[in-house]
Amino acid sequence: MSPETTPAAHATELLTRSIARGRLGHAYLFVGDDSGTLEEAAVRLSQTLTCSRNSPGNPGVPASEPCGTCSACRRTAGFQHPDVTWVRPGKKSRIISIDQIRDLNQTVSLRPTESRHKIGIITTTERLRLEAANAFLKTLEEPPRDSIFILLTLDADQVLETILSRCLRLSFAGGGIRIEPEVSEWLSGFTAGVAGSSSSLLDRYRLVESLLQALTAARESIDDALTAASPLKRYADADADRRERWEDELEAAIEAEYRRRRAHYLAGIHAWLRDVWFRTVEPAGTLFLPRFQEASTVIARRISSAAARANLEAWERTQRLLLGTNAQESLVLEVGILRLSL
């Protein structure tokens, strides 16, 4: 991304082009450092989708910007359009409850009243309670026809991975997408390997092995660091009960940190696959991960936009399996990579 192109401008450009080509995703996560900016972006996207220019009675190429003056645009801006539902935390509880999500799920399951889409906007996604998030997952995974969800957050780290993996993430903040240096370095080699490989089974298994080796090294480094910091090392003469408790705590800490680190590797692959998809939609567009643009371009030339989108969905399923089940990690990752069109 060039210094002159802000993340907000890039995100807006991507949405504008996606609308013009009729290729909007079903769920977006808008991330930023100012709630007003995020809500303005959500309103503008909603206005574009509900604008009279894009009404069901106006077939043809979708207008990529709202007129801002028609009745639909004015009502959307005033939070009064029947096809746009906003969900905000309770004023006292400061959370989004399961009842609010159930109401949203019910509303978006109905056919649009005036426009082509039913739109659901959650203003502070990080405040979804666990039971509310779980109630929302099924809808995100199998969205009702013609529905689009816009999730806003000031703190993506507090949003459940299961929610993150189902959304296309757009940054409206100065920092853009951040990938840990360790992951970025590995991803550079991985994407170059993808671009330089054939579609042979042997080459695909080399990619699987690359990821498994990186994760094994990550687990070993975590084990070494946390074990060295554990009181087990400092108090060798502690009683048996205390040592047993420390051992349990150490094991849990290692597993939690490993899962966090693994999520960064999987998210890095997901971000790159999204850039590949974007390249198939807009060959000259600015990517979120410019370091890997050569590999992104190579793969985008090999596959169709539909295949690139299918890659994203397949990798999201892989992330969900690892996050929400006890499936064998190596097998899930092997199957996940073998299913990708590269």
- Each domain of the chain, given as residue ranges in start order, spans 7-171, 181-338
- Give per-residue burial for 248-278: e unless 16+ CB within 10 Å, then b: eebeeebeebbeebbbbbbbbbbbbbbbbbb
Residue 335 is predicted with a pLDDT of: 95
pLDDT for 74: 92
**pLDDT at position 247, please?**
85
What SS3 class is residue 140? helix
Considering the domain delimited by 7-171, tell me its CATH architecture: 3-Layer(aba) Sandwich (3.40)
CA–CA gap between residue 228 and residue 284 (Å, rounded)? 49
pTM of the model: 0.55
Work out whether the CA dihedral 19, 293, 273, 202 comes out positive or negative: positive
> What is the pLDDT, as a whole number, of residue 120?
95
What is the DSSP secondary-structure string of 89-115? --TTT-SB-HHHHHHHHHHHTSPPSSS
For 95-112, write each residue's pLDDT tens digit. Answer: 899 999 999 999 999 999
pLDDT at residue number 258:
87
How far, in Å, CA of 187 to CA of 290, rounded?
Answer: 12
Query: Residue 152: what pLDDT?
Result: 94
Average pLDDT per 10 consecutive residues for the chain, totaling 342 residues: 50 74 84 82 90 77 80 91 91 84 93 92 89 89 90 86 84 64 92 86 91 95 87 81 83 83 88 90 78 92 92 88 81 94 90
Could you say which DSSP state residue 325 is in? S
